[in-house]
Amino acid sequence: MSGAVEAFHFLRPWWLLALPAVALLWWWLRPRRAGAAEALADSIAPHLAAALRTGAGRRRRIHPLDLVMVTGLLLGLAAAGPTWSRLPDPLVADTAPLVVALKVTDSMLADDLAPSRLDRARFKILDLIEARAGARTALVAYAGSAHRVAPLTEDPNILRPLLEGLKPQVMPQAGDNPAAAVDLAAEILGDEAGAVLLVLDDVDPSAVPALEDPPVPVLILLAAPDGTGLPQLSGLPVIPLAHDGRDITRIERQLRAAQAAALRDDDRLQWNDRAWWLAWPVALLTLLWFRRGWTMRWRMALLAGLLAPLLGPGQARADGLADWFWTPDQQGQRAETSRDFARAATLYADPYRKAYAMTRAGQYEEAIDILDKLDTPDAAFLQGLAEIRFRRYRPAVRSFETALERRPGWAEAERNLEVAKAIVEYVETTQEQSDTGEDRGIGADDTVFDNETQKGAETQVEQPSEGEAGMPTAEQWMQSIDTDMGDFLKSRFRFDLSESGS
């Protein structure tokens, strides 16, 4: 909350100059009954004036003009554009990226939380990943040392077998070093506005000083019996593990707050205009004008009618009821927040955000047509993503190269360019092998077709379905892999430790 107060400002502050004018007009037009009563007493006999002043004690304190002028003040504030947060980057997931750092020690095997603290932590992490559908989550395991288990991914199926393989026996060093897990999480997040969730049952007092000023926002999910706290970590948000989803709700709320705080310093993002919030008190005030006896002279009504359009935002339209309160981009953002991307694409006026909504709605070809007319690095980057999903891999390579030309050194574009090139190489190599028969063992007497002259050309190849010759089923492929994930993690963690020189 303190960060939002510090970031509060007005996008169009010159509209604030209208507020003193409205206040002065209010003071000039407001009725003054006391002066009228004194003038009446000077004009007629005192006993007659007293009779005419019957009911003066029940003087009306609020006049219709007061509502008009308060409405004018609110409209002036709305036209000034109050804001305290930025619009989220459409290329970033709906929630902040999260690195889950799980403590894997002997203490986590205690069964005071059935079946054990470690098992309950695993279940809760899986619930959290499913609740964060569409957001990226990475996994880190730590004891005396911290190790990367899985990179940032949106697929919970990748994390599930890795979580099951985490046991104290696979950790190469005993101990309790959450600071190392936080440092590794900060390395995984890089420049992204994310956070780290420490899932633990206790903290070694010697590790507390290293957690007092973490490089990234830190949350703690306490996998311990009810009543157990961590008073030594009073400066960090500690969320006790719950039987229902209350802990997940609190974690998501903290993540949104952490992401909003990080986005305030990103000058590439637009500020979120909150003018529409003031539409609700204005609507409530106008309802009071229908109260019996609340009338206004026609000249005041005419003045209010002329004043309201001048103080209202200039971008408003009257195509429908929603257009009275929200701009097209604000309506599109509301639809996007509700994950109704198809409707958001029809509402957005900004071409870049419209193309992003089309991409999320699966309208890749339409999005590519819009993005191809834009000349920003973000547009080229999004066009590359849309072309990959539309299975146009070579154009995707060109789009990512264009993004790097417009913004040299862009790490995300460089990574996606490597991925797109790898996909092109894989597809062309697969097509060559399919045409020459190398992958099927075609003999010399069989007829084959050479595709060397058309390497790189866009062709359509019908992919064999699972179970056909040369294509193992998913079950067969899984059975061919060593299913003991613990042994794999143990050897991998030992290798990481030897590489770090610890």
Q: Delimit the domains of the chain by residue range.
A: 2-87+274-324, 98-263, 328-427
Is the pTM for the entire model greater than 0.85?
no
C-alpha pair distances (Å), 463 with each of 415, 433, 434: 27, 13, 10
- Residue 317 is predicted with a pLDDT of 43
Q: Can the peptide bond before residue 328 be classed as cis, meaning omega within 30 degrees of 0?
A: no
Q: Superfamily assignment of 328-427 in CATH?
A: Tetratricopeptide repeat domain (1.25.40.10)
Low-confidence ranges of the chain (pLDDT < 70): 1-7, 30-43, 47-65, 86-95, 226-235, 259-269, 288-325, 432-484, 501-502
Structure tokens at 65: 């003009």
Q: What is the DSSP letter of 245?
A: S
Tokens 């940032």 appear where? Answer: 152
- Residue 180 is predicted with a pLDDT of 92
- Residue 473 is predicted with a pLDDT of 44
- Residue 446 is predicted with a pLDDT of 42
- Residue 481 is predicted with a pLDDT of 41
Name the 3-class secondary structure at 219: strand
- Residue 501 is predicted with a pLDDT of 64
Q: How far apart are CA 241 and CA 102, in angstroms?
A: 13
Q: Superfamily assignment of 98-263 in CATH?
A: von Willebrand factor, type A domain (3.40.50.410)
Q: How far apart are CA 207 and CA 62, in angstroms?
A: 62
C-alpha pair distances (Å), 498 with each of 95, 104, 145, 173, 493: 35, 19, 12, 11, 9
